[in-house]
Homo-oligomer: A and B are copies of this chain.
Amino acid sequence: MAATIKDIAKLAHVSIATVSRILSDRTESHTEETIARVRKAAKELAYQKNTAAIELVTKKSNVVAVIVSATPTNFSNQIIDGIQKKAAKHHLAVIILYAGENNTELQRKALQTVAERSVMGILLLAINLSPANLKFLTKSTIPFVFLALSFQDKTIPFIASDDFQIAYQATNFLISKGHRKIGLAAADFHISYTGYRRLAGYQKAMQEHQLQLVPDWVQDGNYSYQSGRRAIQAYMKNTQVTAVIANSDLAAMGVANQALDFGLSIPNDLSIISIDGTDFCTMFRPQLTSMTQSFYEMGSQGIDCLLNRKLSTAAQRFTAVSIQERESVKNI
């Protein structure tokens, strides 16, 4: 079977303690000759260290767990990319677990899995934890940070965009283009803090410009493609809206396609600004103007945060958002 340090010790005629030291690069006080002999033996036996044993004795782990939702978002890849790159720099291994979409059971299972493995930290990508699961997490002593999701609670660490600002700026942008009747589509305004804040940002901008707030212009959803379609289906009874803020790129595509299906032209009949700014914005026609979030940065900072955390500081950070003008918003 797999070789152990004991085998190496035997082959190299040294003690296991010596092997242990040398293989973990604690070579300060060892003969060049011994070191070489041990290394050679290790290679010969194709030695693979047993992480379970190491973690058992050191009570440490160098893997960070990323929990992602199977949600219809597509920015996860960018975040994971950021996580991956930064983690590699610090010699951390990263494992990813799926937790379904608002599935308490699956969330619990994922949390359980990582807790049993005593990972060094947990990154939660756009995961809306149930209260019970959140409590489980906070009690677990494992450092964690939420990514791409913000909280009102000051004790929960997160790295995300300022959702109020996103919607506020998007609305102002549309207003600056001459729009007065602006829809807000496909977010869970009454469920998540994210949705709540975006609604607030939108309302603030509208009010600051003495613009009418029509309830029907705000269409609930879950950031999905279908949510986007449904928003336009609802607007149809009320074609006054000249521009809509879609709460995800996927939703924006749904909005656009349903509008197209209704015979509307974009952006001539309807302007769209999308929130996220992933690659799909340029792959769709017309190319989607977007409020672009710094997903890569979120992932990268997530690792930093885990590394620096002394188990007490609850860091809450906002990453930059910027507006990318493409083809889906028209000056009217």
Contact = CB atoms under 8 A, between A and B. Distances in A.
A56 B48 contact: no
A268 B47 CA distance: 62
Interface string A232-264: 000000000000000000100110010010000
Interface string A281-305: 0011100000000000000000000
A146 interface: no
A97, A140, A250, A254: most-surrounded residue (chain B CB, <10 A): A97
A52 to B, nearest CB: 4
A117 B70 contact: no
Given A96-B97, A285-B285, A52 B257 contact: no
A80 interface: yes
A117 B51 contact: yes
A235 B178 CA distance: 42
Given A95-B95, A97-B95, A225 B53 contact: no
A88 B109 CA distance: 10
A48 B95 CA distance: 20
A44 interface: no
Interface string A123-143: 000000000000000011100
5 contacts: A52-B55, A70-B77, A70-B84, A95-B95, A285-B285
A-B pairs with lowest CB-CB distance, top 10:
A96-B96, A95-B95, A52-B55, A51-B116, A52-B52, A52-B56, A93-B113, A51-B117, A253-B283, A53-B56
Interface of A: 2, 46, 48-53, 55-56, 63, 70, 74, 77, 80-81, 84, 88, 93-98, 106, 109, 113, 115-118, 139-141, 225, 250, 253-254, 257, 260, 279, 283-285
Given A53-B56, A260-B285, 16 more contacts: A48-B115, A50-B56, A50-B118, A51-B117, A51-B118, A52-B56, A52-B117, A88-B106, A94-B97, A94-B98, A95-B96, A95-B97, A96-B96, A225-B279, A225-B283, A250-B283
